[in-house]
Structure 1
Amino acid sequence: MAVTADATTVNWNIWGDVAVSLLPQPYLDKVVQAGGAPVLLPPLVEGVEAVMERADALLMSGGADIDPALYGAERGKFTFPPHQARDAAELAALAVAERRGIPVLAVCRGLQLISVSRGGTLDQHLPEHSPAVPGRYEPRTIRVKPDSVLGGALGTSPTVYCHHHQGIDRLGAGLVATAWSDDGVIEGAEAEDPSAPFLAGLQAHGELGADTVPLFEAFVEAAKAPARR
């Protein structure tokens, strides 16, 4: 399965400012733990379609803020500068996945981008949901609708790990919210049509923690079914 990666620069051994495509290891570990085989999909729009035509599923990872222009908004003072190449590459990957009918699982930014691709909007700053210590994920118990894809995998009150300062404002077309925080912020959504191919997203970082293992297992199991194309 294809797993979206980020692009940045790092200091690598004796080399400085090396351009890299990368992804936190827990994403890959979680896929392997669930029985899948991950392949990194770098944010290079020119190569997306060739990879996605061979992939049996798409995992959209978390990361930087989405360009507000994609949902018709100006960039707020707390929103980070856009990574337009990543936005474009992931939207292209999502389009192929939806056309082929292969499973899609989205984490944090990934869920937001799916919603935006369907006309949704984002709240650009949720200070009450920002971590007390930047760079540290915080455990949170969320409420999940029982008769849903997320509910079937996670149960109704899983503990998840969060590090988000943005969230879904208006949910995109064809999606339904199926998980919430105590204050009503959407923490998960999925395809509104239960007969549609597997499409689910979690605002929290599902690559972390034990409670989300069954969600990745359900995702990998869905990937074993033939693509609809």
Structure 2
Amino acid sequence: MKKIGVASAFMYPDKDRTVFGQKSLCYIEKDMARYLSHVEAFPILIPDLGKAELDNFLGQMDGFVFQGGTDIAPESYGQAPIENDAWPGDPIRDQFELSIMEYAVKNGKPILGICRGFQLMNIYFGGTLYQDIETQRPNSIVHRDAELYDQLNHQIQFTPDSFLSKLYDEEGEGRVNSVHHQGVDKLGDDLDVFATCAEDELIEAFGSTQFAPGRVMGVQWHPEFFYNSETPLIYGNTLYSQFLDNC
């Protein structure tokens, strides 16, 4: 069985929370846990540990997944907030996950970044983000709707001859969900764009050229939510099956 390390999402002490209100929590979202569970692999939540303990823990993993969640803090990619307190992000989680990504990249481990994880990968490789697409890219389509949530979707265009184009049998386009208000602005170093939003050309998927195609890659959409979609989307398990082949 392959061991897939999943970087924890964090919840911090909150006196108004009934359960464990005075404690910090490390968690994985339910649909993500189900998506990653497989006859050939099982997900293992990576807790917030000290460096020595963390390195030993990471050394047992065959591959790494970076899940979605709260925004990435502007300071994590060298920017000041465009609007104070509107989108502060989580700098603690940012640094925790960046340290895991550093380990994975240096040790040549397969990586799959999803939504926030995709954006984090762009930051790791030296890129930046739109802190809020609606504010900074007003001509873009709506990429997040609080009521529709994972039912919001749009077309993507696969880059011709790219890894994803070949993975999806040379299809020129597909449809994915959209649950994000941040997005890739400056593309990180050595990242090859695999797909863009068909309506506004926002980057939706890429992979690192430092590794074999698809070994280190990220997508802006949430394949773990596809099972619940009322609209036909590209096949979400294709990505994970390919990721496991690399592990």
Q: TM-score range by the shorter chain?
A: 0.7 to 0.9
Is the 8 Å Cα contact of residues 7 and 19 (structure 1) preserved in structure 2? yes
Matched residues, number: 222
Q: Choose which of 98, 101, 109 in structure 2 pairs with 1:91.
A: 98
Among 105, 117, 125, the residue aligned to 2:124: 117
Is the CA contact 1:111–1:202 (under 8 Å) kept in the aligned structure 2? yes
Return the letter of the residue paired with 2:218.
G
More displaced, 140-149 or 177-186? 140-149
More deviation, 68-77/138-147 = 138-147
Q: Match of 1:21? A: 26
User: Counterpart of 2:231?
Assistant: none
When residues 30 and 158 of structure 1 are mapped into structure 2, their CA distance, relative to the original with a 3 A threshold, is: farther
Deviations 1:108-141 (A, max 9, x none): 1111111111211111111243423357121222
* Structure exhibiting the larger radius of gyration computed from Cα positions: 2
Alpha-carbon distance between aligned partners in 2 of 1:132 and 1:92, rounded to the nearest angstrom: 31
Matched, 1:8 2:11: yes
Q: Is the 8 A contact 2:127 2:186 kept in 1?
A: yes
Q: How far 1:16 sits from its partner (Å)?
A: 4.0
Distance 2:66 2:157 in 1: 22
Q: What does residue 223 of structure 2 align with? A: 206
- Aligned with 1:54 (options 60, 64, 87): 60
Q: Any stretches of 5+ residues in structure 1 without a counterpart?
A: 224-229
Q: How far, CA to CA, are the matches of 2:214 and 2:206 in structure 1? A: 14
TM-score normalised according to structure 2 size:
0.81
Match of 1:141 in 2: 155
Question: 1:212: Cα distance to partner?
Answer: 1.4
Structure 1 contact 34–216 (Cα < 8 Å) conserved: no
Q: Which has the higher contact order (CA 8 A, sep 6+)?
A: 1
Partner of 2:244: 220
Q: Which amino acid aligns with 1:117?
A: Y
TM-score, normalised to structure 1's length? 0.86
Q: C-alpha separation between the residues in 1 aligned to 2:33 and 2:81?
A: 32
Q: Which amino acid aligns with 2:67?
A: S
- The answer to which of 65-74 and 128-137 deviates more is 128-137
Q: 2:109 aligns with which of 96, 102, 108?
A: 102
Check the 8 A contact 1:67/1:84 in 2, yes or no: yes
Determine if the alignment matches structure 1 residue 189 to structure 2 residue 203.
Answer: no
CA RMSD in angstroms, aligned pairs only: 2.3
Q: Confirm or deny: 8 A CA contact 1:129 1:164 kept in the other structure.
A: no
